[in-house]
Structure 1
């Protein structure tokens, strides 16, 4: 099969040479930032669980978290939550090894609760947040990638890049 991969240089002015740089910065409490932080925490917790049990990180991808806002009655200096925030953890993970079922759902929920508690100190995550975990078993071809001796990626994972942040 012929490969159709093309890499081209960026033909634009370097960011440091531009007069204006537009940057969007969302705070830790913004739902997008919370979803990203929760997803990352879940991945880290699953990775720790896999390393502790099997001395290696097994297949998982938890890069999507859905947050549905709850209800509240705010008032100066306080207020109350009238309906809980709903957080849905989704993705794929290795859910069992050699017939042994892994506690991936509880691990994921615990990680999500810990993260939310760390950024929202006045929110009672056990009372004011409802966590749901619909993480399922990963496809067999992706699980096999982690069984290889060398580092591989499947056809949806071409490459990863990083450029340093600008001075802003």
Structure 2
């Protein structure tokens, strides 16, 4: 294997007068997915701490948000096809004899987040599914 180190022929960012970056709005699907994933992790941490005084292994940053279809007009619109939200990743769902309702916690946290950002999103405007699996036994 050959390792090559090459000097960049550009002005370093910290020395440039202007830096152009992309910022996605709060309603952008990537922002919605990141926000829901973060809220799920926080909710699981709270539940783990409440029950066991420690945070158990989880990795819930995998989330798929598939856009639906909307007929937009001035002042509003109509949802023709609901968005699809798939929660995935891993989370410890059992500790000893105690079962942790990971899917319920995840749904509640994700729905609270998305309804905070999109308050007019109705219950029938999204299809929700959770495929959060249990964590690896080596990490529990």
Does TM-score exceed 0.5, indicating one fold? yes
> CA offsets per residue over residues 3-35 of structure 1, 9 Å max, x none?
xxxxxxxx9865332133121100011111111
CA distance in 1, matches of 2:30, 2:129: 18
What residue in structure 2 maps to residue 115 of structure 1?
Answer: 113
Q: Helix, strand or coil for the counterpart of 2:124?
A: coil
What residue in structure 2 maps to residue 88 of structure 1?
Answer: 86
Deviation at 1:100, TM superposition (A): 2.0
- Report 1 or 2 for greater relative contact order, CA contacts < 8 Å, sequence distance ≥ 6: 2
What residue in structure 1 maps to residue 139 of structure 2?
Answer: 142
CA distance in 2, matches of 1:47, 1:109: 15
Structure 1 residues 13 and 55: alpha-carbon distance in aligned structure 2, compared to 1, 3 A threshold: farther
CA distance in 1, matches of 2:116, 2:38: 14
CA distance in 2, matches of 1:46, 1:13: 44
What residue in structure 1 maps to residue 96 of structure 2?
Answer: 98
Counterpart among 57, 61, 65 of residue 63 in structure 2: 65
User: Gaps (5+ residues) in structure 2?
Assistant: 1-7
User: Gaps (5+ residues) in structure 1?
Assistant: 1-10, 144-168
Deviation at 1:80, TM superposition (A): 1.3
Structure ranking higher in strand proportion: 2
CA distance in 2, matches of 1:60, 1:83: 32
Q: Helix, strand or coil for the counterpart of 2:21?
A: coil
What residue in structure 1 maps to residue 126 of structure 2?
Answer: 129
Q: Where in structure 1 do 4 or more consecutive aligned residues deviate above 3 Å? A: 11-16
CA distance in 2, matches of 1:79, 1:26: 22
RMSD: 1.8
CA distance in 2, matches of 1:68, 1:20: 34
| Aligned residue-pair number | 133
- 1:34 paired to 2:63: no
Structure ranking higher in helix proportion: 2
What residue in structure 1 maps to residue 43 of structure 2?
Answer: 45
